[in-house]
Chains A and B, each alone.
Chain A
Amino acid sequence: EIVLTQSPATLSLSPGERATLSCRASQSISSNYLTWYQQKPGQAPRLLIYGASSRATGIPDRFSGSGSATDFTLTINRLEPEDFAVYYCQQYGNSLTFGGGTKVEIK
């Protein structure tokens, strides 16, 4: 099973700043089968990025994904108030596993 480790656990930033979230895999993820989701309190997760770098339908271009093999990054440029949430990565290259999440909170 591929274990995904997200860091940091919590990121304290102000609106307008850039957020950089990391997702590291215990082994290489084939074909960059890595996804990012956003979850707000009391809500279901929302798909942001699939295939490591492709934005899902309707996702603003301030969200971008990058990386390959074992190291992946979600970048949120110019944080908007609605971006403060928990973010999860998920791999689908070998079974299906999620990372533990990164909370982006208002500083």
Chain B
Amino acid sequence: EVELLESGGGLIQPGGSLRLSCTASGFTFSIYAMSWVRQAPGKGLEWVSTISASGGSTYYADSVKGRFTISRDNSKNTLYVQMTSLRAEDTAVYYCAKVPRDFWRYYFDYWGQGTLVTVSS
């Protein structure tokens, strides 16, 4: 059974940094692209970033480009996103999502339960 477990969320001041993690199990992590998708409170879904299976290629939404860095450790079956220069509009539940192939422009077949990031002073 595929499981994705996010961690690292919390309350952070504007301008601060935070790193989220997503531990995967139940599938061969190293052969699939992985993504982060976020959802602001009471709002819809927004794609944030995707990383290729090897980690060699990364893709970002314009809203986070230059501030967020996605990475992965295939030896630990773990996906990360380093978030810097955080803004109030980054407040959201951040979901880790599996892509069913090694391709960035695709859909998401499994999602974690999400971790809440609140950017506020």
On A, residues with C-beta under 8 Å from B are 33, 35, 37, 43-47, 50, 56, 88, 90, 92-101
- Distance between Cα atoms of A101 and B44 in the complex (Å): 7
Partner of A50, one of B50, B107, B110: B107
Question: Chain B: residues with CB nearer than 8 A to chain A?
Answer: 44-47, 50, 61, 95, 105-114
Does the CB pair B45–A98 fall under 8 Å? yes
Chain A binding surface, main DSSP class: loop
Instruction: Give the dominant DSSP class at B's interface.
Output: loop
For A101, list chain B residues within 8 Å (CB): 44-45
The smallest C-beta distance from A103 to any residue of chain B, in angstroms, reads 11
Is A44 a contact partner of B95 (Cβ separation < 8 A)?
Answer: yes
Give bound CA distance, A95 to B45, whole Å: 14
Does B47 contact A46, Cβ atoms closer than 8 Å? no
Residues of A contacting B47 in the complex (Cβ-Cβ under 8 angstroms)? 95-98
Return 21 A-B CB contacts under 8 Å, by A number: A35-B107, A44-B111, A44-B114, A45-B45, A45-B111, A47-B107, A47-B110, A50-B109, A56-B109, A88-B44, A88-B45, A92-B105, A92-B107, A95-B47, A95-B105, A96-B50, A96-B61, A98-B44, A98-B46, A98-B47, A99-B44
